[in-house]
Amino acid sequence: MQPLWKTGAVYQIYPRSFCDSNGDGVGDIPGIISKLDYLADLGVKILWLSPIYKSPNFDMGYDIADYYQINEEYGTMEDFDSLLLEAKKRGLKIVMDLVVNHTSDQHPWFQKALKGEEPYHDYYIFRKGKKKDVPPNNWTSMFTGPAWEYVPERDEWYLHLYDKAQPDLNWHNPKVLEEVENIIRFYMDKGVYGFRCDVINQIYKETLEDGKGIAPSGRGSEHYLMKEGNHQILRKLYDDVFSHYEDHLVVGETINVDIPNGQRFLANNELDMFFSFAHMNVDKALGGLLPGKFKPEKLKDVLYQYQKEIPWNALYFENHDQPRSVPRFGDEGKYRDASAKALATILLTLKGTPFIYQGQELGMLNAPDKDPSTSLDCCAHSIGKLIAKIPMTKKMRFKVLNSFDRDRCRAPMSFDGSENRGFTNADKPWLPHAKDDGKHNVLEETKDPNSVLNFYKKLLKLRQNHDEFTLGEFEPCPTKGALFAYRRYHGMSSVLVLVNLSDKPVKLPDYLSKIGGALLLSEGDIVDRGTLPPYGVRIHQLS
């Protein structure tokens, strides 16, 4: 039996923005339950929920104050149990977010650690400063700025690789490992299918020596990215806990992961798959600091490299940290639907587990640009402080700041064309809705046979019914520019996928234009067999 994560696709729910059941403007668990039929009908099998634990929401739930409680806004543990039950009835599995590089500074462990109480004294990474007013080392936070905060209570500094409201746990302390194992067991025993492990390749700080260079963010990472101790911890979580649950999923969010470490995560059962960032950097300039130009061939090269070298990929174009993919890698104007479908085709036909971020199946866009000072995203504010020091025009600054604002992709899900898009009955949702034409929502797209939504359904069915897509090998066909062409083969059968990720028609190379075989799926007007229209898609059964 193949594990479900090889055959089934994942849908990411950002609970705060998915569906609000009680009219307070914030999504919640009963809201999710009310949409399970929609999700089952879409054809996904696994739902990953961004954090729903008790949290002051400084980083929107990625700052946990109690791993054993559900944040009140989202409901209760009983609601969560009903979600598990209702999901199960529909053949859906639930994956939770495991955020254990850090906790919230409101977590009782941290509060007690501040007072020096045992056994919490060493749950976090406290050190004396180099001198008064000088932190223990020169590391910078992933959100920019110093990675240390001074606390007078202990006359020490604590490490935070993210915001200062997110103190890093001390993974040299065996008690921390024990706590985390208990948390995992608690949810697995409830019937949770697995975890998406937040920034999991940076939890183990090998040394606290100064970092090299002048990096405004992540300086020092050579001392904590994917160290031997990190691999060993993940393997231990597998041996002690995960290996006791038959079919389960552990997917790591792995910042700046490289191919050798990625291969090791998989080969050694440390993770089932991991999110690489390589393809998210193809449209960035200045080491990721500024938005750059998107070239489809760059995306293709990176994706193909991972297809060839990593036995199983976590495939994604969107999540709660990244801008929407249509305006980013496609076209939000004339070719909005076509480009959404082209991207969907790549996502769902490459080798690995596809992750669909809520609303992606509708071709949703980002929220409109806004005054950056009104953002609710803590990261956008710290990047804002950094960018304030770089000279640029007002207009450019506005654009750059908005490009980093994670609020944009967190705009509420669009269920219908009403004022609040069927997300809430409140006067005001917690975030304004995305750019919209009133047509890209569940209600309208369900009715339209040519909608992005119905295309996702078709593709998910196709993927489910053809082992080539789920279990097959990947073989690229040599092509230039924006044309993606690859074969997926399993046993004796094989399919050919052709996608034009550009707004210009592309001529197929001779050897591809002659290909016969039944057409399993095609999008875009066929002018002639040798040409793929803008954002056109064709999938052939070869044998």
Q: Candidates 13-21, 210-218, 343-351, 460-468: pick the segment binding Ca ion (CB under 5 A).
A: 13-21
- Say if CB 532 and CB 505 are below 8 A apart: yes
Q: What angle do CA 44, 47, 53 make, to 5 degrees?
A: 170
Contact flag: residue 512 with ligand GLC (CB under 6 A): no
Distances in Å between the alpha carbon of 443 and those of 31, 128, 192? 16, 58, 30
Residue 377 CB, nearest distance to ligand GLC (Å)?
A: 8
> Is-catalytic flag, 321?
no
Count of residues interacting with ligand GLC (CB under 6 A) = 9
- Say if CB 208 and CB 161 are below 8 A apart: no
Contact flag: residue 22 with Ca ion (CB under 5 A): yes
| Catalytic hit among 97, 156, 198, 337 | 198
Contact flag: residue 99 with ligand GLC (CB under 6 A): yes
Q: Beta strands of 383-478 (E only): which ranges?
A: 473-476
Q: Of 32 and 142, which has the nearer Cβ to Ca ion? A: 32
Contact flag: residue 28 with Ca ion (CB under 5 A): yes
Contact flag: residue 251 with ligand GLC (CB under 6 A): no
Strands 483-490 and 46-49: unpaired
Contact flag: residue 80 with ligand GLC (CB under 6 A): no
Residue 99's binding partner among Ca ion, ligand GLC, none (Cβ under 5 to 8 angstroms by kind) is ligand GLC
Q: Of 72 and 528, which has the nearer Cβ to Ca ion? A: 72
Q: Of 384 and 533, which has the nearer Cβ to ligand GLC? A: 384
Contact flag: residue 162 with ligand GLC (CB under 6 A): yes
Query: Which structure tokens are listed for 234?
Result: 């993940």
Site for ligand GLC in 314-353 (CB under 6 A): 320-321
Burial 129-155 (b: 16+ CB within 10 A, else e): eeeeeebbbbbbbbbbbbbbbbeeebe
| Catalytic hit among 63, 168, 253, 337 | 253
Cis peptide before 311 (omega within 30 of 0): no
- In sequence order, the β-bridge partners of residue 196 are 97, 251
Q: What angle do CA 190, 191, 195 make, to 5 degrees?
A: 100
Site for ligand GLC in 36-75 (CB under 6 A): 59, 62
Contact flag: residue 26 with Ca ion (CB under 5 A): yes
Residue 26's binding partner among ligand GLC, Ca ion, none (Cβ under 5 to 8 angstroms by kind) is Ca ion
> Is-catalytic flag, 198?
yes
Q: What angle do CA 507, 509, 515 make, to 5 degrees?
A: 105
Site for ligand GLC in 142-161 (CB under 6 A): none
Q: Of 16 and 300, which has the nearer Cβ to ligand GLC? A: 16
Quick one: which of 302, 215, 321, 299 has its CA closest to 258?
A: 302
Ranked by CB distance to ligand GLC, the top (closest) residue is 62
What does the alpha-carbon distance between residue 460 and residue 44 come to, in Å, rounded to a whole number? 7
> 539 by DSSP, 3-state: which?
strand
What does the alpha-carbon distance between residue 50 and residue 491 come to, in Å, rounded to a whole number? 37
Q: Of 24 and 222, which has the nearer Cβ to Ca ion? A: 24
Can you tell me which of 28, 156, 198, 468 binds ligand GLC, judged by CB under 6 A?
198
CA 314 remoteness from chain centre: 9
Contact flag: residue 468 with Ca ion (CB under 5 A): no
Query: Which residues contact Ca ion by CB under 5 A?
Result: 20, 22, 24, 26, 28
Q: Which residues are catalytic?
A: 198, 253
Query: Which residues contact ligand GLC by CB under 6 A?
Result: 59, 62, 99, 162, 198-199, 253, 320-321
